Structure 1
Amino acid sequence: MDTRLIEHILKIAEEKSITKAAEKLYLTQSALNQQLLHLEHELGTTLFNRSKTNWGPTKAGEIYLEGAREMLRVKQQTYSRISDLTNGYKGTIRVGMTPVRGPDMFIHVYPAFHKEYPNIEVIPYEMNVFQMQKLVSIGDLDLGFMTLFESQRDDNEYQNLYREEILIAAPESWDFGDQVIRKEGCRQALPLQALKDRPMILLRKKTTMRPILDKLFRTRKVVPQILFDTANPATILEMVRAEICCGIIAESTVCGFDQGIRYYSLDKPLHWNVAASYAKGSFVSRATQCFIDYAKKYWLEKTKEK
């Protein structure tokens, strides 16, 4: 099933530029343009609005792209089913992951997976969870590894890999007095009100954690004194260790940040899941499930490091 033309047209849409698409496809711009012109002649209409800065699809282009993605999805599903039947594992798995924690997971998972499935190409993409969800839905990603709360799930399928707690990180020298909630056999806790007049650094609004925290602050009628936002939890923890601020981070990010920081649960403990996501109704091949299982093993082993 030769779908190269379809893939080339989708690449133009993805890059929003025929020049960038040609570079990514290792084609000359002239050759790619000829393919596009031939297809448009065949269809009797243009598929893209030509622009120096943005090749957006026309109405006809949107229809073509929707059908193209579905054709590639059907091809992928068909080949995956045949591979499972014959043990002739070949093909591609496009994997989405978050920029900070995703690459570390990938470099630990990929070697073991590649040893087991050497003929399967795994293409990693780094992006935020909300972008991943969209691309999984339309079939541009086969698999997405996400950290998110239950309320943030969409209609895609999810496999939970690891449940982790959201923690308050504060300098060890800070004294919260009688605001600290002590629970036998559990980590000490703090109400959000204890952070009301304390400087904070939080994760950026485009992360899945931030909108939930913002809602929590509003509910508790606390206005956080935010110094700045960051995409990297390590930045928060370095600033906490320097006694500049407090922060709120995921439990798995505390590894290596033991000295000078005290961690608290929220007074009402908050958890989210690290999950693998794929399109609703899609066929999950043994190879894809193997990659998911290796990722789950990575996360469970990482929790033992804390």
Structure 2
Amino acid sequence: MDTRQLKYILEIEKAGSISKAAENLFISQSGLNQQLLRIEKELGVTLFDRTTHMLKLTKAGEVVVHYAEDTIHREQRMHDLLDDVLHGDVGTINLNLAMEQGIALFALVFPIFHKQYPNIELCLHDYTVAEQYRLLDEQKLDIGMVMVKHKDRQGIEFIHLRDERLLLGIPSSHALSKDYTMASDGDYPFMDLSECKEEIFSLMFSGSTFREVVDPLFRKAGYAPKILIESRKNNVVGLMSAYGLCLTILPESQAKMYHDINWFRLTDEPTWESCLIYSRNRPPRKAGRDFIDLAVEQAKNIR
């Protein structure tokens, strides 16, 4: 049994039917069915339960699929390493940046990286965290960037960049901003979120990693926030507050961009962590690893 046949098995398992798998593989349905029968005969086991509408793996099939995935990943890794040896200074890196948090870091890294790898093309994307996990798994993304509270995603390697505070923003014209002064240590003053129970907020969208950090703070304060707007973009929720329409919570790096908002530390002083991520099944090639090393070093220079 060769890797081509292993790929056939994986595609059948993914598609759930021989006809759909054959279409995806650009081969005939009868040809693929014959290949499957030949593989099962060679192994002496049945790989798929054919009594259901969609093909389902048997116990033996699960073992073979696990082996097939590992073998294909190893083969791809071998080709990547060989390609590094032969053409390590050319190619493309598909890179996700959390544009609002990541652009400052990219501006520091890119000139250094481009000087070292002038023939490497960096294709930049802006996906959600969930989209990045999926695309890494599908091998359509090489390196991602996420802000997280928990690094518990199976099969993903997390590379720490920096920790960042989340701050409560209140329009400078708001009554809660009256007599606003910085704390004696020169930092932002504290505000208990329970004091904002009757206020309206603009926040990042529900289900985001940001809300995984922020929503428990509201629950602890004893209420669910009244929300004017939810958005994928920090600048949207920030501008809503800057125009005096509502309160907001933003990462400190974004808070510094709005001068019509007074910023407060929350009593729990919540933070999240910026990380670069990649698939453990397909680690970055040499140029990608060097990009990550540069990003880790340059992240120390972001204030």
Global fold match (TM > 0.5): yes
Distance 1:59 1:31, change over 3 A: closer
CA deviation digits over 1:61-109, x for unaligned, max 9? x97987665455323422344456x474156544344465557766875
Task: Quote the residue 1:207 is aligned against.
Answer: 208
Q: How does 1:85-164 map to 2 (within 5 A)?
A: 86=85, 88-89=87-88, 93-98=93-98, 101=101, 113-118=113-118, 120=120, 122-136=122-136, 141-149=141-149, 151-155=150-154, 156-164=156-164
Cα pair distance change 1:179/1:123, threshold 3 Å: closer
CA distance in 2, matches of 1:71, 1:127: 29
Partner SS, residue 269 of structure 1: coil
User: Counterparts in 2 of 1:34-73, with a 5 A limit?
Assistant: 34=27, 38-44=31-37, 58-59=55-56, 70-73=70-73
Larger radius of gyration: 2
Which amino acid counterpart does residue 242 of structure 1 have in structure 2? Answer: Y
Distance 1:65 1:180 in 2: 62
- Separation (CA, whole Å) in 2 of partners of 1:139 and 1:65: 18
Task: State the 1:263 CA deviation.
Answer: 1.3
- Alignment: residue pair count: 282
RMSD over aligned Cα atoms: 4.6
**Runs (4+) off by over 6 Å:** 62-68, 178-181
For normalisation by structure 1, the TM-score amounts to 0.70
The aligned residue for residue 292 of structure 1 is 292
Q: Does 1:275 align with 2:268?
A: no
Identical pairs, percent = 23
| Residue number in structure 2 paired with 1:222 | 223
User: Cα–Cα, structure 1 residues 36 and 204, in superposed 2: closer, same or farther, change >3 Å?
Assistant: farther
Taking structure 2 as the reference length, the TM-score comes to: 0.70
What amino acid does structure 2 have at the position aligned with 1:210?
Answer: R
Question: Is the partner of 1:170 in helix, strand or coil?
Answer: strand
SS of the residue 1:34 aligns to: coil
1:226 corresponds to which letter in structure 2? Answer: I
Could you tell me which residue of structure 1 aligns to residue 263 of structure 2? 263
CA distance change for structure 1 residues 109 and 32 in 2, over 3 Å: closer, same or farther? farther
Cα deviation, 1:112-164, whole Å, max 9, x if unaligned, reads: 54553355565555422133235445755432211111x35324321111221
Moved more, 31-40 or 237-246: 31-40
CA distance 1:286–1:36, shift in 2 (3 Å):
farther
CA distance in 2, matches of 1:104, 1:184: 27
- The answer for unaligned runs of 5 or more in structure 2 is 38-45, 49-53
What is the deviation of 1:205? Answer: 1.4
Kindly provide the amino acid, as one letter, of the partner of residue 188 in structure 2. Answer: R
The answer as to whether partners of 2:92 and 2:122 remain within 8 angstroms in 1 is yes
Corresponding residue of 1:251: 252
Are 2:215 and 1:194 equivalent residues in the alignment?
no
Q: Which amino acid aligns with 2:251?
A: A
Q: Which amino acid aligns with 2:116?
A: E
Mapped partners of 1:167, 1:119: distance in 2: 41
Structure 2 counterpart of 1:168, one-letter code:
L
- 1:26 corresponds in structure 2 to none
Partners of 1:263 and 1:95 lie apart in 2 by 32
Per the alignment, do residues 145 and 75 of structure 1 end up closer, same or farther by CA in structure 2, a change over 3 Å counting? farther
1:268 is paired with a residue whose SS is coil
CA distance in 2, matches of 1:40, 1:120: 42
Further displaced range: 263-272 or 65-74:
65-74
CA separation of 1:250 and 1:239: change in aligned 2, threshold 3 A = same
Q: Deviations over 1:11-49 (max 9, x none)?
A: xx79xxx99xxxxxxxxx98963377644442249x9xx
Letter in 1 for 2:56: K
Secondary structure, aligned partner of 2:276: strand
Q: Deviation of residue 206 (structure 1)?
A: 2.8
Residue pair 2:238, 2:258 contacting (<8 A) in 1 also: no
